[in-house]
Structure 1
Amino acid sequence: MNLEWQYSTPQAEGMDAEMLGDLDYFIKQKRYRLVNSVLVVKNGKIVFERYYNKYNENTRNHIKSIWKSILSLLMGICLDKGMIRSLDEPIGDYLPAFQRGVHPYHKAITIRHLLTMSSGIFWNGGVHYHCPMVEQMKRTRDWVAHVADVAMKDYPGSSYVYKEWDVLLLSAVIGNAFGNTSYELCEEFLYMPLGISSGRWAESPCGVSYTVMKGEEHSNLSARDLAKIGFLVLNNGIVDGQRIVSEHYIKEMLRPNDNNSSYGYLWWILENGYACRGFGGQEINILPKQNMITVIQATPTPSSKTYGDIHKEILEKSVV
């Protein structure tokens, strides 16, 4: 199965074509020179598509932390296929470094805690996408063991802290459960069924797939590829009649967690939908009531802007 897009006009799908036509002026007035792609899918059809800076429908852009949301979908696939029994399993069942008693809290960290950014492991993110803690880790051979040596700040599950540790460990758990890397699982069970083309994700010296760290841009996807991810979630895990992720997991994934009402399992919860976010202006927005997906891509820089007003002021308001 390979998802191929159909096309329609904004008017035919209940959207204001004139308002959408103002997008170029809006971007120019806001001086959003780094925006590369804006795409709208309504009722399963592409109704609006704009590219800038020599981008086109085949050009791939850095997805940054949208990768986190993709990892969440991979966890759902692992559960569906029985590779992982429960989100409440201790991560030490898959990561021996967390069974060694380095800290008494380690045995209490579960997969669910990684999905909700509540592992309790200390984190200092630095500024402008430069994190000394990550740079220190990257100088070691065994990244998972290094994270296991980082101090615990909170008891697992007690507080939300957005951090790279939890998704790196989640990628390691997925890879170990699958018996390969999380990239290989993604390629076989998510990207290939959706017809998504991606460069191979980077790997740590200890064999853990990762993509979101500075300088690691192998996870580039096109705007249409990101729309396919959104379409899968909007349709509760089914695309073209094929079940890719269970509806049960999708609903759990999009439920606000106890420590942050705006966050599910590595997905953001909006007032009227759900979203992925990546540093520098990468967005997938899913609006179930409007049966609509919007995608925004931009070139990230150390002091990058966000472009959520494109979605809120133009794309969302164009629904008649």
Structure 2
Amino acid sequence: MRQVVFKFVTSLALLFSAASCSSDESKLTGIWHTELEAIPQLKSAFDLELNHDFFGDKWSGRFEIAETMTEGNLSSVKVDGSKITLDLGQGAMFKGNLATNKQEITGVLNVPGIEKQTLRFTKIEKWSSQRPARSDRDNQPVKTWAYQSPPEIHDGWKVGTINAASGASKPLRDLFENILKGHFNGLDAILVARNGKMLLEEYFYIGDRERIHSIQSCTKSVTSLLIGIAHDDGLIKNLDAPVNTFFPAYGDSTKRKMPPFTLRNALTMSAALDWREDIPYSDPRNDAVLMNQSKDMFQYVLSKNPDPKVRPGEVFEYNSGLSILLGGVIANTTGKPADQYATQTLFKDLGINKFTWTAMNGQIHTGGGLFMKPRDILKLGQLVLDEGKWNDKQIVSASWIKESTAFNLPVNKANKEWGYGYQWWRGVLRADNKVFKTIYAAGYGGQVLCIIPDLDLVILTLHHNATEGNGRRSILWKEMETNILPAFK
């Protein structure tokens, strides 16, 4: 799914229209940049480009917020001399001034419920996303790749080294040389673990070992692990219980409109709801977008009518709203919202202490709101590969891992190799005329955590690609098959 466009970040998107009018038109054209901690613990780059139609006396442009994978066209602002006033919607306002040097726009962003923040935009020559894939200490582009084994930083990971033959393999070397040449703009990280040891850790663009990164809909798979822990502890007893029984506070709406689907149906995305998420997230009819914009996500999903064409449990249909309900099930059975429950269980046992899990109107977004450090994300894959264990400690039962990652339903009738479990995907990779079954988590913008049991292998790729275009390209199954697997199989 597309990354959750939080109301705060949505308002920031409109903020970039601040420069669409000015008293000095020639100076305002170009690219402007600022940084803001839109997501707790994560400094985000905010860029905008302004273009002026001198004949029509109209301004246009676009903006990018790389860390949240948000981009779009600019809207209008009010300018009175050097004063700029923005109505950001939903009560949010920005008031600022164009500096006399015409190189800065400084002002205050006021968003209801959030502390006022001072922003300062400055002129830059290129988009932040156009930076080199990797730079040296002199800020010069690095164009040659040399393998280095991951460092031991006492975060629970054992580390190792790729053997000399594989480390120097042409497919792997070619991949990283092409990344450094900019052929995969928007790629932030590639990490690989084999036989319980991390062997490869590479960062590019906005990726960094200590920097949290959006995992988008990979969040759904983390939610599945939390459901499993609650099930192991006896807090969730029956997967075949109707979902509405977990939401007693919504009884009035669910009695009339709640389809008779179960918790298991929610886990497998087979609830048979009248739900549209097979259209672009830019389409205002998309139910996931409408849900995110609603005042109560649980209410929005629970009030959806059933699909008259199918019955629950029969057909897989991608539905981020069901993942949101799973967060409500966690909160209502454990007494803690998903982020707190994760902190006290899964994350504590994995040694994960830096993350951000965003919320909408107080409801944790268990469909796509999680930001984590790359090495911590890789731990989740190793946990699944080791049947719920991390460094010999059983965190999630082996039975839950087996059940939740099993091929439950095909994602479409045409291809039986690709399917879905309990918020985990199933698929295949091919290399050297061999077929390797995979378990994976996937998120909008190029986030993939891939587990290959037959090779004792875990692969993580992170990107910030809101779209494929303008030089952007994600590491896909093709590159995993032709460039990565040969070095580790």
- Determine if contact 1:91/1:98 at 8 Å carries over to the other structure: no
- The correspondence of residues 15-164 of structure 1 with structure 2, limited to 5 A, is 15-19=166-170, 20-27=172-179, 31-53=183-205, 55-96=207-248, 97=250, 100-103=254-257, 106=259, 108-125=260-277, 127-130=279-282, 132=284, 133-153=287-307, 154-164=310-320
Query: How many Å apart are 1:68 and its aligned residue?
Result: 0.5
- Determine if contact 1:171/1:182 at 8 Å carries over to the other structure: yes
Q: CA RMSD in A?
A: 2.4
The one-letter amino acid of 1:243's match is: Q
- Determine if contact 1:182/1:208 at 8 Å carries over to the other structure: no
Matching of residue 254 in structure 1 with residue 405 in structure 2: yes
Matching of residue 298 in structure 1 with residue 455 in structure 2: no
Match of 1:267 in 2: 424
- Determine if contact 1:41/1:292 at 8 Å carries over to the other structure: yes
Q: What is the CA–CA distance in structure 2 between the aligned matches of 1:159 and 1:226, rounded to whole Å?
A: 30
Query: How many Å apart are 1:61 and its aligned residue?
Result: 1.5
Report which stretch shifted further, 129-138 or 156-165.
129-138
Matching of residue 307 in structure 1 with residue 475 in structure 2: yes
Match of 1:166 in 2: 322
Correspondence for 2:453 among 269, 280, 288: 288
Query: How many Å apart are 1:86 and its aligned residue?
Result: 1.7
Deviations 1:247-301 (A, max 9, x none): 0010001111145451111111122221111111111111112111111011131
Higher relative contact order (CA 8 A, sep 6+): 1
| Structure with the bigger percentage of strand | 2
Query: How many Å apart are 1:158 and its aligned residue?
Result: 2.1
Report which stretch shifted further, 117-126 or 185-194.
117-126
Query: How many Å apart are 1:200 and its aligned residue?
Result: 3.5
Matching of residue 183 in structure 1 with residue 339 in structure 2: yes
- Determine if contact 2:157/2:198 at 8 Å carries over to the other structure: yes
Correspondence for 2:365 among 201, 206, 210: 210
The one-letter amino acid of 2:305's match is: A
Q: Which runs of 5+ in 1 are unaligned?
A: none
- Determine if contact 1:41/1:48 at 8 Å carries over to the other structure: yes
Output the TM-score relative to the length of structure 1: 0.88
Query: How many Å apart are 1:313 and its aligned residue?
Result: 1.8
Q: Secondary structure at the match of 1:270?
A: strand
The one-letter amino acid of 1:149's match is: S
Deviations 1:80-104 (A, max 9, x none): 011100211111221133674223x
The one-letter amino acid of 1:182's match is: A
- Determine if contact 1:102/1:148 at 8 Å carries over to the other structure: no
Q: Secondary structure at the match of 2:401?
A: helix
From the superposition, tell whether residues 192 and 163 of structure 1 become closer, same or farther in structure 2 (CA, over 3 Å).
same
Matching of residue 192 in structure 1 with residue 348 in structure 2: yes
- Determine if contact 1:175/1:208 at 8 Å carries over to the other structure: no
- Determine if contact 1:227/1:293 at 8 Å carries over to the other structure: yes
From the superposition, tell whether residues 246 and 5 of structure 1 become closer, same or farther in structure 2 (CA, over 3 Å).
same
- Determine if contact 2:352/2:376 at 8 Å carries over to the other structure: yes
Q: What is the CA–CA distance in structure 1 between the aligned matches of 2:247 and 2:297, rounded to whole Å?
A: 11
Q: What is the CA–CA distance in structure 2 between the aligned matches of 1:53 and 1:258, rounded to whole Å?
A: 37
From the superposition, tell whether residues 24 and 114 of structure 1 become closer, same or farther in structure 2 (CA, over 3 Å).
same
Match of 2:442 in 1: 277
Match of 1:243 in 2: 394
Q: Secondary structure at the match of 1:273?
A: strand
Count of matched residue positions in the alignment of Structure 1 and Structure 2: 311
Output the TM-score relative to the length of structure 2: 0.59
Q: Secondary structure at the match of 2:227?
A: helix
- Determine if contact 1:113/1:119 at 8 Å carries over to the other structure: yes
Deviations 1:215-245 (A, max 9, x none): x5xx221221111000100000011221110
Q: Which runs of 5+ in 2 are unaligned?
A: 1-153, 429-436
Matching of residue 318 in structure 1 with residue 479 in structure 2: no
Q: Secondary structure at the match of 1:102?
A: helix
The one-letter amino acid of 2:335's match is: G
The one-letter amino acid of 2:375's match is: R
Query: How many Å apart are 1:131 and its aligned residue?
Result: 5.3
* Identity rate, percent: 27
